[in-house]
Amino acid sequence: MDILTHALMGTAIATPCMVTMPEASAALILGSVAPDLDAFSRIFGKRAFMQWHQTFTHSIGVIGPIAMIGLVTLLVDRIAGFCVLAFAVGMAFHVALDYTNTLGVKCWYPISRKRYCSEWCFFIDLPLISITLLFLCWLAWLISRGVLPHPLHACIYLAIVVGYFGFKAWTRHSLMQKIHPPLLSLIPSAWCPWLFYSFRHNPCGSTELLNANAIRGTTELADQIPGADEHWIRIAEQSEEFQIMKELSAGYKIISVQTIDDPPSQTAAILTCRDLRTRNFSTSFGSMEITVDSNATVSKVDWNV
């Protein structure tokens, strides 16, 4: 999820508990956004950001020790202990939300370096944001009428959120069962809960981009991308940036090859690459242009991250 959604959802859960446990509630809100501090890894470059984001700070290797510190602190200072535990709970909630997204989190690091994701929601999910904003407005209305929020209200919100995720999981699973031949991926729409974006490869080497409707159980062709020659794929794999994106997404492909016949420039071709899975907001995140010189080696990479 984007950090705004994390902050809103953390606030929605913590606000009903502000009256009884104000310090721990504030700690939970902080914990719900803290894992994304790894975004500052961008100062070390794009490669560092893509390799570190949603790894260490999103893992049991960090959250587990924080929770243990909280349990030990309880023996010394009850309020401080609950604050540390609430912070860890906020971090765990953050990771659980990111698990529902599409790029995955290394939540079991250092036990496993694999990224896990369910592809239930896009990282910006407008229905989920709307549910959260409506709940916060309802809490504000209650407070304006002199009714103090109660932890039960947080339970109501969590029940609605779990129900929404359950619906998203069901629609995705049912769609995967209905469509043949099987789809390689199902990326949810940011707007409509039952619409998904997908792709599959053809025997001829091209890739079909599909729009899938979980209610109807149907797909429609949105576009068809010609396949790149194996020669260009091997050259692209010289680039560490290309390898990083391939690891993140099975749908990362070379979508066009522009050959250049200009000996003085020493440029033989420009390879345009992007993630065919993701089409929300016409996003260009992760796309790149790889410049190949006349010696069939990568001379330049322009990477949109």
**Whole-number pLDDT of residue 88:** 98
Asked if 269 contacts 232 with a C-beta cutoff of 8 angstroms, the reply is yes
Task: List the domain range (segments joined by +) for residue 251.
Answer: 238-303
Chain centre distance of CA 93: 14
Q: How many domains does the chain have?
A: 2
Boundary of a domain, candidates 99, 127, 155? 127
Boundary of a domain, candidates 127, 154, 174? 127
Dihedral of the alpha carbons of 272, 275, 279, 282, in degrees to the nearest 10: -40
Query: How many Å apart are CA 185 and CA 278, to the nearest integer?
Result: 10
In-domain check, residue 161: no
**Whole-number pLDDT of residue 250:** 85
Q: Would you put residue 240 in left (φ > 0), alpha (ψ -120 to 50) or beta?
A: alpha
Query: How many Å apart are CA 89 and CA 92, to the nearest integer?
Result: 5
| Number of Cβ atoms within 10 Å of the Cβ of 114 | 11
Amino acid at position 222, single letter: A
In-domain check, residue 221: no
In-domain check, residue 272: yes
**Whole-number pLDDT of residue 51:** 84
* β-bridge mates for residue 181, sequence order: none
Query: How many Å apart are CA 104 and CA 304, to the nearest integer?
Result: 19
In-domain check, residue 45: yes
**Whole-number pLDDT of residue 113:** 87
In-domain check, residue 60: yes
In-domain check, residue 184: no
Burial, 121: exposed, middle or buried (Cβ in 10 Å; 0-12, 13-18, 19+)?
A: buried
Tens digits of pLDDT across the chain (305 residues)? 899 999 999 999 999 999 999 999 999 999 999 999 999 998 999 988 988 889 999 999 999 999 999 999 999 999 999 999 999 999 999 999 999 998 889 999 888 889 999 999 999 999 999 999 999 999 999 999 999 999 999 999 999 999 999 999 999 999 988 887 777 788 999 999 999 999 888 888 889 999 999 988 889 999 999 988 899 999 999 999 999 999 888 889 999 999 887 666 677 899 999 999 888 888 788 999 999 998 889 999 999 98
Query: How many Å apart are CA 95 and CA 208, to the nearest integer?
Result: 32
Q: What is the pTM of this model?
A: 0.91
In-domain check, residue 38: yes
Q: What does the angle CA 243 – CA 246 – CA 250 come to, to the nearest 5 degrees?
A: 165
Strands 267-275 and 288-293, by their bridges, are: antiparallel
Query: How many Å apart are CA 149 and CA 137, to the nearest integer?
Result: 12
What is the token pair recorded at 173?
Answer: 């699973």
In-domain check, residue 82: yes
Boundary of a domain, candidates 111, 127, 143? 127
**Whole-number pLDDT of residue 254:** 94
